[in-house]
Chain A
Amino acid sequence: MREKIVTKDPGEGIFPHVTAMAAILIILLSGSIFFVVLSGAMPALKKFKLSFIFSTIWDPVLDIYGAAPAIYGTAVSSFLALLIAAPLGVGTAIFLTELAPGWLRKPVSYMVELLAAVPSVVFGLWGLLVLAPWLRKGVGLFLDEKFGFIPLFRGPFLGVGMLTGTLVLTIMILPTVTAISREVMLTVPLDQREGMFALGATRWEVIRKVILPGSKVGIVGALLLGLGRAMGEAMAVTMVIGNTFIISPSLLSPAQTLSSLIVSEFPEAYGMQLSALMLLGLILFAITLAINIIALIMVNRSAARLKAGKELVPVQISMPYGEGALVLVKKKNLSKME
């Protein structure tokens, strides 16, 4: 009898296998990306070996390639962007959770999340056609004329360059940093705030001694996610960084990043140049993976503290546009989250 019921539904037998196969496909996909890109990068890796990372020559005519300026550009532009975006984003999150009047909080938070969905190519368009000319006539010219003797501000400034790239990246990662920091701060329970206020603390003291310590790990997670986004960001940076293969201490000088070099040369590349571009991609992949792993180790270390008695629980916060962050939340605060 029991057998009969089961055989009535012919899909039942294969159903679990089909779903498991989809899961295996996802594993195969993420596992194969590294090896496939590696296979494409192999000729360049064999020819240049480790010197690829340190060489500053990129010469398609002589077929000699190195990546140092691109690695330098990626590192400098994304760290500077994070440096500016961190106070702005965390400040905005504090404003949205603690300071703003109630009617303002929801609409502005929605707006910030919506802006996170603007494609990077649109930021690039604005950076190239609006921000770059404006910087060239305004701030850039001023810095070059008054402070040009400092290598950091040595011109001539063409409008596109490290400064413009950094600023566009900053604006792009702001919604990510703000939205996740805000979510984390919201998990600090209301009674902790009220307790501090009842003891006579000022608003800032509540923020500094309750809100920020309570959401520290989550904010660091938000910043790491922003850093990862800045490094992998391709289009906007390609459009405003100037695409010049040099290492210059000046913020006003044009530069190159890993992703901008790939995007700008890929359509015309072939042979060894193509392989060298793949190798750049592999380096980018390794760097972003390393950032993710650092974030994971931090979470794990805190998870160990959880076992030691401090009640921190890792929670996956997912953003409406698909990105997510693993953050730590005090266990008793969990009920505050949906």
Chain B
Amino acid sequence: MLKRKTYRKWNSRIAEAICTVFSFIAVLALVIIVYYVFQRGFQVISWSFFTSLPAPVGQTGGGIGNAIVGSLVMVSLGTLCSVPIGMAAAIYLYENPYSRLALVTRFANKVLTGIPTLIIGLYIYILIVLRIGSYSALAGSISLAVVMLPIITLSAEEMLRLVPESWRDASLALGATRRQTIMRVVLPASAGGLTVGVMLAVATAAGQTAPVLLTALSSRFWLASLGQPSASLPVLIYTYAVSPFTDWQNQAWGAALSLIIFIFILNISAQVFIALRQRR
């Protein structure tokens, strides 16, 4: 009797220890990566690193200014395209939750989130780059918009649903039209949550490499027009990392640090916002 009890106790302890060790390994592996990015990245970054063009091939020095501008432009344009469409679709899903169109849209949205972003790059390449005949920042922006659209729609519908139904009923009962109810009651009430969803979509888009590489390619100069190929942070990290030059590899760490800080700020502020609202 006693023996059986100690056996069970030790069995449990060993299993617990294994789980603890596993989680330690998992967390450690992830922390090490972030640590490396910060440690190597901080050695590289400086003011001129952010503001200057890459040095001509073969020379050391130079910066990632054009990649930062390219990323900012493409992510902003992608956001401008995807937010209105995503919000409108979410409003439709909110207004007609069980219509046939809504069910198909939700399924299509789910399919979109599951498609590897590389495929979205191929899609925009055929649709736009081949038509225009050149890689362009515009094509890059549109591919990012396609990446962001399902994320925004999904989170926006969830956020709209969090608005108490009684508010909506009250507004309609006062004689407001459906459009007025949505625009003046539901949207303002969920504005914070909608912003969080957009921020997370922006963070996802900022890190996308494959779709941008396939549509905007890269450039070593400042972005002059949307019709031209454009540099971007993720593509720059990729090309510099696989290059044989130590100087470029070091700069890749600096670029990775800038990108990670941008993404972490967006994510952490989103988490803080969610935590604050839950407390209320």
Co-complex (A, B): yes
Q: Which residues of A contact B (CB under 8 A)?
A: 5-6, 9, 11-12, 15-16, 18-27, 29-33, 36-37, 39-40, 87-89, 91-92, 94-96, 98-100, 108, 110-115, 117-126, 128-130, 171, 174-175, 178, 202-205, 207-208, 228, 231-235, 238-239, 259, 262-263, 266-267, 278, 281, 284-285, 288-289, 292, 318, 320-324, 326
- The reply to whether A174 and B29 form a contact with Cβ atoms under 8 Å apart is yes
Q: Which of B57-65, B152-160, B163-171, B219-227 contacts A (4 or more CB under 8 A)?
A: B152-160
Residues of B near A20 (CB, < 8 A) are 92, 101
Please list the 8 inter-chain residue pairs (A to B) with the smallest Cβ-Cβ separation, ordered nearest first.
A232-B116, A119-B207, A91-B22, A22-B88, A202-B12, A204-B12, A322-B151, A92-B23
Known interface pairs A30-B111, A40-B122. Does A117 touch B16 (Cβ–Cβ under 8 Å)?
Answer: no
* Interface size grouping (class) on chain B: 35 or more
Bound complex: CA of A24 vs CA of B36, how far in Å?
Answer: 45
- The reply to whether B34 and A118 form a contact with Cβ atoms under 8 Å apart is yes
Given contacts A108-B27, A126-B36, A281-B122, 5 further A-B contacts (CB under 8 A): A27-B104, A40-B126, A119-B208, A262-B118, A324-B113
Bound complex: CA of A25 vs CA of B112, how far in Å?
Answer: 12
Proximity bits, B98-114, A CB within 8 Å = 1, else 0: 00011011001111111
Q: Is B186 at the interface (CB under 8 A from chain A)?
A: no
Rounded to whole Å, the gap between the CB of A304 and the closest CB of chain B is 18
| Of B9, B33, B118, most A-chain CB atoms within 10 Å | B118
Contact of A292 among B86, B111, B119, B158 (CB under 8 A): B111
Residues of B near A99 (CB, < 8 A) are 16, 19-20
- The reply to whether B33 and A31 form a contact with Cβ atoms under 8 Å apart is no
- The reply to whether B238 and A235 form a contact with Cβ atoms under 8 Å apart is yes
Residues of B near A129 (CB, < 8 A) are 241, 249, 252-253
Q: Which residues of B contact A (CB under 8 A)?
A: 8-9, 11-12, 15-16, 18-23, 25-27, 29-31, 33-34, 36-37, 84-89, 91-93, 95, 101-102, 104-105, 108-120, 122-123, 125-127, 146, 149-151, 153-155, 158, 175, 177-180, 182, 200-201, 203-204, 206-210, 213-214, 217, 234, 237-238, 241-242, 249, 252-253, 256, 259-260, 263-264, 267-268, 270-271, 274
Contact of B210 among A96, A118, A263 (CB under 8 A): A263
Quick one: closest B residue to A236, CB to CB? B209
Bound complex: CA of A288 vs CA of B111, how far in Å?
Answer: 10
Main secondary structure on B side of the interface with A: helix
Quick one: closest A residue to B10, CB to CB? A202
Rounded to whole Å, the gap between the CB of A23 and the closest CB of chain B is 4
- The reply to whether B204 and A26 form a contact with Cβ atoms under 8 Å apart is no
Quick one: closest B residue to A111, CB to CB? B27
- The reply to whether A92 and B209 form a contact with Cβ atoms under 8 Å apart is no
Known interface pairs A122-B260, A175-B30. Does A33 touch B120 (Cβ–Cβ under 8 Å)?
Answer: yes
Rounded to whole Å, the gap between the CB of B31 and the closest CB of chain A is 8
